[in-house]
Chains A and B, each alone.
Chain A
Amino acid sequence: METALIILTDGLVYASWLFLISAGLTLIYGVLRILNLAHGSLYALGAYAAASVVLLYFDRGLWPMGSYLALLGAALLVGAVAGPLIERGLLQWIYGRDPVYQLLATYALFLILEDLMKLVWGVNPYYAYKPYGLLGIIRLGGIPYPGYSFLLLGVALLAGGSLCFFIRGTRIGRLVVAMIHDPEISAAMGVNVPRVSLLTFTLGAVLAALGGAFTAPMISVVPGLSVEVIVLAFAVVVIGGLGSLEGSAVGALLVGLVRSLMVHRIPELELFAIYLVMAMVLLLRPRGLFGMEEVRRV
């Protein structure tokens, strides 16, 4: 019989994965008010880049533990390159337009990136599982857990913590918060809105790629990753509240724990878990757990 410890651990591990894949989405929405449907593609890009980097890395026979830094490096690379390209190349033309067109533009971007990745990397799977097995086994509740799961937990906490510090503790972070609350007044007060937008989107892209990069060692990287991730990320972000990082974390925790409970106790309902939680939250608190009150402009 599974103990509560196992269910809790599984919930936390899954939640940390969910947080990594959804933090970027909520940040971008909060600041830029754009629901980035290409978020899943950035995740997949991060996964492919990480797989390629890891393969190169082990080819050179470098210090195995350093492969985690390689994963981080791959994510940073993808974010730093793709982020500004997309923001300057596409998004800056659609700010302030009808939300439907923004959605469509990011959907179009998703389609284009899908095929681009197929053209660059082909349809064959890429494996990067060497980093997965390096951290040994930790026994909890009587069953073995791979050390990597706890690394993932650590990365999620680190990412969340850094973001928190960035938003609260640095000057630019507070400018971002100002923009979340009111872009117009921020601009009137002298905030360089285009530059802050660029920075935020790049940050969001790095987060998405980070999720992909650290997932790559657990899976075989094939085309089609983006589609599955988009739906999950959306659900978590909606539950937590669009634009709220704490919401994202709490939403991830909630979904992770509920799902873990269902898998261990009522496996038949596992498929519905996330949608039921989402529907529940939308019913009781439509703006999400930590979402901001949207003032109705008349």
Chain B
Amino acid sequence: MKLRRFGGLILIAGMAGLGLLLPGWSRFLLTLALARGLLVLGVALLMQAGLVSFGQGLFFAAGAYAVGFAARDLGIRDAGLGVALGAGAGLGIAALTGPLLARYRGIFFAMLTLAFSMILYGILVKAYRITGGTDGLRIPPPTFLGWSLPEEHLGSGLYLFTLACTAVMVFLIFRYLRSPLGYTVRAIRDNEVRVEYLGLSVSRALYITVLLVGAMGGLGGALSAMSVGHVDPNLAYWTTSGEFVFVALLGGTGNVFAPLAGSIVFEFLRTYAYKYIPYTWQMGLGLVMLAIVGFAPGGLWSLYELIARRMSGWTWSWKRGV
């Protein structure tokens, strides 16, 4: 049982090592994948409640622009402060829209989230004197507690920072899923009326989930912004949100790690699609999606679990001498 507790730490150490060994641009992709993975995790969480969010771009853009404004207007470049502001912005927007969102289900929830994210997009484009419009805002390289890393190490530094933030969030979500609130949310998906009859408040549970998803989304947006160095309204467009939903289904929603793994696979998949089939990468992606819907609806993670279970079964039976 001791190994189980350390399993998570070993994984983090492994990822850290991997990131430092990889060539610069792969590490950059991995950083982005982890940051975006937080938003995919948000989609997966809401899916546990039976809700599909087509507006993750809302929180993504909120967090990213929070860092942008902080850098431009307040001169704040500290990474820790930046992500706190990003998470705060996501949380704020979730707090505002949450009461409304928690009242809807199914297609209407999806449509409302889409509408909100497109409204933010419209504001970001229109108020271009403040937001920079479609030209966007530049994010200067972040500092860590006052330290400014030399250029060669900035990429690694950001990667480790992103990994740390992601790990913390994953741990939080892990605890959340095992808390009464987490179970309530999953119960809502099964049978909402019975949850209410049990005396639990459905809308409160959903609202808190939306808050969590919003904060996480803002955090992811902030991390992404700091790595890329540029934010623009495209982050709030519905195709960005659609991508997050796709990745959630690609990775699977059964496990905390699944969305992150899915995000990493997707980033690299897309890069190689651009490289080898630049003219028909959309079709390639579409075919992959159909394959998943048809053959692996639980996402890649379900495939992996299938393999892991088989392998563990063999080791167990091997150990028993069968």
A residues sitting closer than 8 Å to B (CB atoms) are: 35, 90, 93-94, 98-101, 103-105, 107-112, 114-116, 118-119, 227, 231, 234-235, 238, 242, 268, 271-272, 275-276, 278-279, 282-283, 286-287, 296, 298
Q: List 27 A-B contacts (CB under 8 A).
A: A94-B293, A98-B297, A108-B285, A108-B289, A108-B290, A108-B293, A109-B290, A110-B286, A111-B283, A111-B289, A112-B282, A112-B287, A115-B286, A119-B280, A231-B118, A234-B114, A235-B115, A268-B126, A271-B125, A272-B119, A272-B126, A278-B115, A279-B115, A282-B108, A286-B104, A298-B191, A298-B193
B residues sitting closer than 8 Å to A (CB atoms) are: 47, 52, 100, 103-104, 106-108, 111-112, 114-116, 118-119, 122, 125-126, 191-194, 238-239, 242, 245-246, 249, 279-283, 285-287, 289-290, 292-294, 297
Given A101-B297, A108-B290, A276-B119, residue A282 in contact with residue B111 (CB < 8 A)? yes
A104 touches B293 (CB 8 A): yes
Given A104-B249, A282-B104, A282-B112, residue A111 in contact with residue B282 (CB < 8 A)? yes
Q: Once bound together, how far apart are the Cα atoms of A286 and B109, in whole Å? A: 10
Q: Once bound together, how far apart are the Cα atoms of A63 and B283, in whole Å? A: 40
A115 touches B293 (CB 8 A): no
The residue of chain B having its C-beta at the shortest distance from the C-beta of A123 within the complex is B279
Residues of A within 8 A of B119 (CB): 272, 275-276, 279
Residues of B within 8 A of A271 (CB): 122, 125-126
The residue of chain B having its C-beta at the shortest distance from the C-beta of A273 within the complex is B122
- With beta carbons under 8 angstroms apart, the residue of A99, A109, A272, A275 that contacts B286 is A109
The residue of chain A having its C-beta at the shortest distance from the C-beta of B289 within the complex is A108
B287 touches A108 (CB 8 A): yes
Which residue, A90, A98, A111, A282, has most C-beta atoms of chain B within 10 A? Answer: A111
Interface majority SS on B: helix, strand, loop or mixed? helix
A283 touches B108 (CB 8 A): no
Q: Once bound together, how far apart are the Cα atoms of A99 and B114, in whole Å? A: 17
Given A238-B111, A272-B122, residue A296 in contact with residue B193 (CB < 8 A)? yes
Residues of A within 8 A of B107 (CB): 35, 99, 242
The residue of chain B having its C-beta at the shortest distance from the C-beta of A286 within the complex is B108
Apart from A234-B111, A234-B114, A279-B115, what 4 extra A-B contacts exist at CB < 8 Å?
A103-B245, A227-B239, A282-B112, A283-B100
Given A101-B293, A107-B289, residue A114 in contact with residue B283 (CB < 8 A)? yes
Residues of A within 8 A of B297 (CB): 98, 101
Residues of A within 8 A of B122 (CB): 271-272, 275
The residue of chain A having its C-beta at the shortest distance from the C-beta of B117 within the complex is A275
Q: Once bound together, how far apart are the Cα atoms of A105 and B249, in whole Å? A: 11
- With beta carbons under 8 angstroms apart, the residue of B118, B283, B294 that contacts A115 is B283
Q: Once bound together, how far apart are the Cα atoms of A271 and B120, in whole Å? A: 11
Tell me the smallest distance from the CB of B244 to a CB of chain A, in Å: 12
Given A103-B52, A287-B108, residue A115 in contact with residue B126 (CB < 8 A)? no
The residue of chain B having its C-beta at the shortest distance from the C-beta of A278 within the complex is B115
Given A112-B287, A242-B107, A279-B119, residue A231 in contact with residue B238 (CB < 8 A)? yes
Q: Once bound together, how far apart are the Cα atoms of A283 and B294, in whole Å? A: 36
Which residue, B106, B108, B125, has most C-beta atoms of chain A within 10 A? Answer: B108
Residues of A within 8 A of B52 (CB): 99-100, 103
The residue of chain A having its C-beta at the shortest distance from the C-beta of B54 within the complex is A103
Given A271-B125, A282-B112, residue A100 in contact with residue B249 (CB < 8 A)? yes
Residues of B within 8 A of A119 (CB): 280
Tell me the smallest distance from the CB of B252 to a CB of chain A, in Å: 12
* Cβ-closest 8 pairs across A and B: A111-B286, A115-B283, A108-B289, A112-B286, A108-B286, A111-B282, A115-B280, A108-B290
Q: Once bound together, how far apart are the Cα atoms of A278 and B104, in whole Å? A: 14
Q: Once bound together, how far apart are the Cα atoms of A278 and B283, in whole Å? A: 31
Residues of B within 8 A of A93 (CB): 294
Residues of B within 8 A of A272 (CB): 119, 122, 126
The residue of chain A having its C-beta at the shortest distance from the C-beta of B119 within the complex is A275
Q: Once bound together, how far apart are the Cα atoms of A103 and B51, in whole Å? A: 13
Which residue, A103, A110, A276, A287, has most C-beta atoms of chain B within 10 A? Answer: A103
Tell me the smallest distance from the CB of B45 to a CB of chain A, in Å: 14
Residues of A within 8 A of B246 (CB): 104, 107
Tell me the smallest distance from the CB of B99 to a CB of chain A, in Å: 11
Which residue, A105, A108, A287, has most C-beta atoms of chain B within 10 A? Answer: A108
Q: Once bound together, how far apart are the Cα atoms of A227 and B237, in whole Å? A: 11
Which residue, B104, B115, B116, has most C-beta atoms of chain A within 10 A? Answer: B115
The residue of chain A having its C-beta at the shortest distance from the C-beta of B238 within the complex is A231
Given A231-B238, A271-B125, A275-B122, residue A104 in contact with residue B112 (CB < 8 A)? no
